[in-house]
Amino acid sequence: MSSMSDNQEPILVKEESVEGIPSPLLKLKSWQWWVLVSINIFFLIGGQAASVLLGRFYYDEGGNSKWMATLVQTAAFPILYIPLLLLPSSSSTDSDSSEPPCSLKTIVLIYVLLGVIIAGDNMLYSVGLLYLSASTYSLICATQLAFNAVFSYFINAQKFTALILNSVVLLSFSAALIALNDDADAPSGVSSSKYIVGFVCTLAASALYSLLLSLMQFSFEKILKRETFSVVLEMQIYTSLVATCVSVIGLFASGEWRTLHGEMKGYHHGEASYVLTLVGTAVTWQVCSVGVVGLIFLVSSLFSNVISTLSLAVTPLAALVVFRDKMSGVKIMSMLIALWGFASYVYQNYLDDLKVRRARKLAQAGRTDPLC
């Protein structure tokens, strides 16, 4: 990748200049943009892989509360106040915007709606991870890319090219292989009917998560209309607050809170390990969330979801080492097909980047030739 001097244009051109190309952080230069994207990719992949492994560890070592597993996915949101306080206020950066500010009532409604969706999605993921091995769970989660391509097309006007369609089809086949696998390696004590429940819940969670990403991008672009990282963090903080409140209500309403003391006492590695597992899971989920929302802000919801599918190349292999999950031929084939689908989207993203670069060069040269 060629470097850019200080007086060169930012990496991306305005969205209205090239139809269908996202327009995040136009003031950033190429190397700055790539550094931010790389950091968020690391947060997303590392956080997601670690949180899934810790979640499976919680169940394997004696944890059984689905609402607790749901709660820890958002409970650590207060740590996000640290970077928020270190960033300049979003209001000061948007003072010169011609768009009227969004009303407080609208913002609260957005946060509450997204927060409730997050809580429901987290619950579905918790049930799925309870009844599936970490590697199987991760491979099914790869279908979120296919769901997000569809949602992004209808909600975010994302282009639906032949390569993206290829990704959708391949990832659907990958999930179908897992669903039809007769030699499923469900965790000990999990019946075939519970395995099916875990598969359905994980698939539904992937669809709901994809819808959530598209709604977040829509909120940034059409409602909030503010492009600062503090806005991204505020959305993550306050939607997590709502999701945490919903999870706490569910924990007490279900009566699972009564079993937590006995669960901690009976944890295989002791009470300290129980607490550290929950705390570690909570922190890594927030690290993952920062990466997810950051990539939505910097690129698009579809790109964010594509990068999250990279965990299928990390989490199953990590689960193979940590939990000695069985990697059957069906799982390996499913992984290879999913990687093929991922590569198709990456290549489409590469073509889009070339299109943006050509548009920028034409603009610099003062030409108005239409793009191919």
Break the chain into its structural domains and give their ranges.
Answer: 30-83+102-352
% of residues, the chain, pLDDT over 90: 30
Q: Which of 135-144, 165-174, 177-186, 231-240 has the highest mean pLDDT?
A: 231-240
* 144 membership: H or E segment, kind and range: helix 144-155
CB atoms within 10 A of CB 92: 10
- Express each pLDDT in 242-287 by its tens digit: 999 999 999 999 999 999 999 999 998 899 999 999 999 999 998 8
Name the residue with higher pLDDT: 340 or 19: 340
The residue whose two tokens read 């997303």 is 44
User: 28 falls in which pLDDT band (50, 70, 90)?
Assistant: low
Mean pLDDT of the chain: 79
Exposure of 280 in the CB half-sphere (CA atoms within 13 A):
17
- Express each pLDDT in 286-334 by its tens digit: 888 788 777 877 776 667 766 776 666 677 777 777 777 677 777 788 8
* Average pLDDT estimate for 118-147: 88
Lowest-pLDDT range of 125-129, 182-186, 283-287, 294-298: 182-186
Q: What is the pLDDT of residue 65?
A: 94
Angle between helices 134-141 and 192-218 (to 10 degrees): 40
* Whole-number Å distance between alpha carbons of 31 and 167: 28
* Whole-number Å distance between alpha carbons of 133 and 199: 11
Q: What is the pLDDT of residue 2?
A: 40
- Express each pLDDT in 156-167 by its tens digit: 777 778 888 888
Name the residue with higher pLDDT: 85 or 87: 85
* Whole-number Å distance between alpha carbons of 16 and 180: 45
* DSSP designation for 88: P
* DSSP designation for 6: T
Task: Note the Cα 113 to chain centre separation in Å.
Answer: 18
The residue whose two tokens read 């309870």 is 130
Q: Tell me if 125 sits within 8 A of 74, measured CB to CB.
A: no
Exposure of 21 in the CB half-sphere (CA atoms within 13 A):
26
Q: What is the pLDDT of residue 167?
A: 81
Residue 257's SS3 state is helix
pTM for this model (two decimals): 0.79
Q: What is the pLDDT of residue 313?
A: 65
User: 10 falls in which pLDDT band (50, 70, 90)?
Assistant: very low
Q: What is the pLDDT of residue 200?
A: 94
% of residues, the chain, pLDDT over 70: 80
Q: What are phi and psi of 273, to 5 degrees?
A: -65, -35
* Whole-number Å distance between alpha carbons of 267 and 274: 6
* Whole-number Å distance between alpha carbons of 172 and 236: 29
Q: Which of 16-20, 108-112, 181-185 has the highest mean pLDDT?
A: 108-112
Q: What is the pLDDT of residue 34?
A: 83
* Whole-number Å distance between alpha carbons of 230 and 91: 9
> Among residues 121, 123, 130, which one has the least CA distance to residue 56?
130
- Express each pLDDT in 337-350 by its tens digit: 878 887 887 788 77
